Structure 1
């Protein structure tokens, strides 16, 4: 009987020890997942600051941002005592540090509309660049190659004008297509920089169609003014006709009365 009780106590102790070890192991696993999220979130913040000017956040931080999303999702997958690891770190106080930091990263990514630079497949964010992004960067690289390869500043603008027009027109086309949702901030910043460069360096070089448009507008303004001046100078004013009565007619009128 005594031996049976001792065996039972040892058995229960083994179960308790094993359970404690499992809880500790699971707890350590949650801590590891939390630490992975902390590192990913810190790396994304650093990456965003490093690529804030010029803005290349979407292109250079997409992998790190994906790590933030994945590490946060992993905290929901790992379960301890019937509850996910995430529940052990959020909804416990007003700070909700993990949730706040994750939301900050999410908000920054969405404000930059970085998702517009990449492909969505099966409702999931991927790291593959969209066709619009690939095509835009292709036109931009061609334009910049022309700028960098042109040694003579006097010939840069006429030599690279066609490449600039191609880039500008394509950007306008995808801007109209995405008018309601907006464009990826990387592309917007590239185009703003290109416009600034071109307006500063090549403003005097215009397309022939632009010259025609300007000429026609000036002509439309001038023609009515010229016509009005000609009318004022050369059209003789017609004097009003005044009928004068003779003295004889006046005398007849008086005698008749």
Structure 2
């Protein structure tokens, strides 16, 4: 009996100490986990503070850049708007390449200045989702390139170094002379001219040589897909007045008739010779059968 009680006491003591040790270990684990969580919270808090400080520094930096980049931004805004205004005002007749090249150069120069300044480029060109300034510059450049405007000039660079190439300048000169001639003889009623098939309009006669020079210069410039839009527009307008409004023609119908008759007369001896030869061979073959 005594031994049974002692065993029971020993077992209870063992269980008691086991529970105490297990509780201590569990408490230490919980304490360690709690410490880890607290450290993690501190780290996250410090990271948030760091992000807030960084954002504050960025805002302060942008505020500092206002004075440095604001003027460049205003210059580009004014230059780009002036170029677009010039393009719209010269949309009909379409000649914005020659008329707006100075404003295009200024807008391109203003954008390049912003792009080359690192701080301005970082905050003005890449800080917003839409990238308004960059897309505005892309639009202006695409509009200029769509008109093949560079093909009108020898070079288009900064510092006002742009000039019409010699071929385009010569074409514009012939165009101005032809246009002046058209204006001098445009007093003739267009309706009468369009219904008159027997006689040509004075415009067709007096302006023919100038129009011929202009047309030849136009064909010498190259393919229409290569030409700048100013040249194409001037040629199309002039061709409409010449052919559609006054029904003029570079080739004289009387001269064409004379040339056709002359060729026919020249071919008559050859035709007579061939016919005579064919008839002679036919008669020779008939004599052989006799």
Q: Give yes or no for TM over 0.5.
A: yes
Alignment of 1:64-75 (within 5 A): 64-75=103-114
For residues 109 and 138 of structure 1, do their structure 2 counterparts lie closer, same or farther at Cα, with a shift above 3 Å needed? same
Looking at structure 2, the residues matched to 100 and 125 of structure 1 have their Cα atoms a distance apart, in angstroms, of: 24
Among 94, 97, 100, which residue is 2:129 paired with?
94
1:105 and 2:140 matched: yes
The DSSP-based 3-state class of the residue aligned with 1:52 is coil
Among 168, 171, 174, which residue is 2:215 paired with?
168
Aligned to 1:185: 229
Q: CA deviation at 1:152?
A: 5.8
> 1:55-109: per-residue Cα shift (whole Å, max 9, x none)?
011111111111110000111333xxxx341121122233000000000000000
The DSSP-based 3-state class of the residue aligned with 1:53 is coil
Aligned length: 196
Looking at structure 2, the residues matched to 121 and 186 of structure 1 have their Cα atoms a distance apart, in angstroms, of: 16
Aligned to 1:225: none
* Structure 1 unmatched runs, 5+: 1-20, 221-257
Q: CA deviation at 1:44?
A: 1.2
Q: CA deviation at 1:125?
A: 8.6
Alignment of 1:60-139 (within 5 A): 60-78=99-117, 83-120=118-155, 126-139=161-174
1:146, 1:160 within 8 Å by CA — same for their partners in 2?
A: yes
TM-score (structure 2 length as normaliser): 0.58
Larger radius of gyration: 2
Among 175, 178, 183, which residue is 1:140 paired with?
175
> 1:152-200: per-residue Cα shift (whole Å, max 9, x none)?
633111110111111011101112xxx3861110110010001111112
Please list every run of at least 4 consecutive aligned residues from structure 1 whose deviation after the TM superposition is greater than 4 angstroms. Answer: 21-26, 121-125
1:157, 1:201 within 8 Å by CA — same for their partners in 2?
A: no
The DSSP-based 3-state class of the residue aligned with 1:119 is strand
TM-score (structure 1 length as normaliser): 0.65
Looking at structure 2, the residues matched to 132 and 143 of structure 1 have their Cα atoms a distance apart, in angstroms, of: 17
2:106, 2:158 within 8 Å by CA — same for their partners in 1?
A: no
Looking at structure 2, the residues matched to 185 and 61 of structure 1 have their Cα atoms a distance apart, in angstroms, of: 13
Looking at structure 2, the residues matched to 150 and 181 of structure 1 have their Cα atoms a distance apart, in angstroms, of: 33
For residues 165 and 68 of structure 1, do their structure 2 counterparts lie closer, same or farther at Cα, with a shift above 3 Å needed? same
For residues 151 and 65 of structure 1, do their structure 2 counterparts lie closer, same or farther at Cα, with a shift above 3 Å needed? closer
The DSSP-based 3-state class of the residue aligned with 1:120 is strand
Looking at structure 1, the residues matched to 212 and 78 of structure 2 have their Cα atoms a distance apart, in angstroms, of: 44
Give me the CA root mean square deviation: 3.4
Aligned to 2:185: 150
1:40, 1:64 within 8 Å by CA — same for their partners in 2?
A: yes
